[in-house]
Amino acid sequence: MNDQPQAPLSGTTRHPLEVDGSVELAVLTRSGMAESRHMGAAAVVGPDGALLRSVGDVAASIYPRSCLKPFQALTVLRSGVRLDGVQAVLATASHAGTAEHQGVVRAMLARIDRTEDDLLCPPDWPFDRETARRAVEKRRITMNCSGKHAAFLLACAENGWDHATYDDFDHPLQRAARSTVAEHVGEDIDQTGVDGCGAPVFAVTLRGLARGIARLTGSASTDEDADAGHLVRAVLADPWALDGHGRANTVTIEELGLLAKLGAEGVMVMGTTDGVAVAVKVLDGNIRAGTLAALHLLVDEGVVEREAADRVLDRTLERITGGGVLVGGISAGAGLVA
């Protein structure tokens, strides 16, 4: 497993997102008073990669966390691995760890006679509450990144790469992933960290992340990149596998027909098959503002209908209650409505 230290900040010309580069993305109100405010930044780009709208410092670098998974899955496909249907979706998923999800991961591992013990992601509880309630211990297969790691093992088997070190920074698979990310975001990768699952995570700008997602999702309609188009169409066909039944990313995909992908520490990306995409980073790392901010921006750009976005938010936004009664809500912040 990767025990290398995070690459240092020194030597990079990039700067991380800071308070001064952030705007108010969302406000939580309780009993008529603003109780919490979430700051951050966001970028919206068009099919040609041009910036359509920016809020906050979109030139700041962030770790996209699980929003990198589509590019990592694309790397696996480009390495020669055939991933069809739900197996393609699990390769890019932050899944809920249900029995359905576990079954797909096991099927991926069975293709190469591997087991969950070969996964290098750490054991974890499932996101799905009912599945977690029945679980007796943390397991690698219920960790939300196990599908990505199973895909990594498939790539190693396909190419004769060492399967025991696939999360090392200099492993051939990770060098290929870094190249895929750089190609799509249009930036050099000069800072690499360690993600929560142990795999490398590459720092990119918010604008670059939006540009990369736009290029990837746009391939579903143009087939400019057959592997990317295949991946996006698989996600749109089986959105339950990307996240979980009733969960925010799954609901967004089901209702709106666009790709939605959450990353840890308040990162969110959404992209349409027409090649418009948004990338959001919430500075405090809270995930509850991501879907709201991304949809608000896509509605403003005329990409998503307000009524459709409201349906998603009605199903996914956190309920602000007191004594079991609704006493408040979460709404777009001044940085989005100004």
CA distance 46 to 214: 7
Please tell me whether residues 174 and 76 are part of one structural domain. Answer: yes
The pTM score is: 0.94
pLDDT tens-digit series, residues 6-48 = 333 333 458 999 999 999 999 999 999 999 999 999 999 999 9
| pLDDT greater than 60 at residue 176 | yes
Q: Residue 257: helix, strand or coil by DSSP?
A: coil
The last residue of one of the domains, among 202, 219, 236, is 202
> Which bin fits 49, alpha (ψ -120 to 50), beta or left (φ > 0)?
left
Please tell me whether residues 75 and 185 are part of one structural domain. Answer: yes
Please tell me whether residues 234 and 122 are part of one structural domain. Answer: no
Please tell me whether residues 235 and 321 are part of one structural domain. Answer: yes
Please tell me whether residues 134 and 45 are part of one structural domain. Answer: no
- First and final CA of the chain: distance in angstroms? 47
The last residue of one of the domains, among 174, 202, 230, is 202
- 338 vs 51, which has greater pLDDT? 51
**In a domain? residue 3:** no
CA distance 58 to 164: 37
Q: How confident is the model over 189-216, as a mean pLDDT?
A: 97
Residues 6+ apart with CB under 8 A from 337: 296
Please tell me whether residues 49 and 157 are part of one structural domain. Answer: no
Identify the helix (H) or strand (E) that includes residue 259: strand 259-263
Phi, psi for 280 (deg, rounded to 5): -125, 140
Closest CA to 185 of 210, 154, 212, 203: 212
The last residue of one of the domains, among 202, 222, 256, is 202
Per the structure, how many domains does the chain have?
A: 2
Q: Could you list the residue range(s) of the whole structural domain that residue 286 is in?
A: 15-62+211-338
**In a domain? residue 10:** no
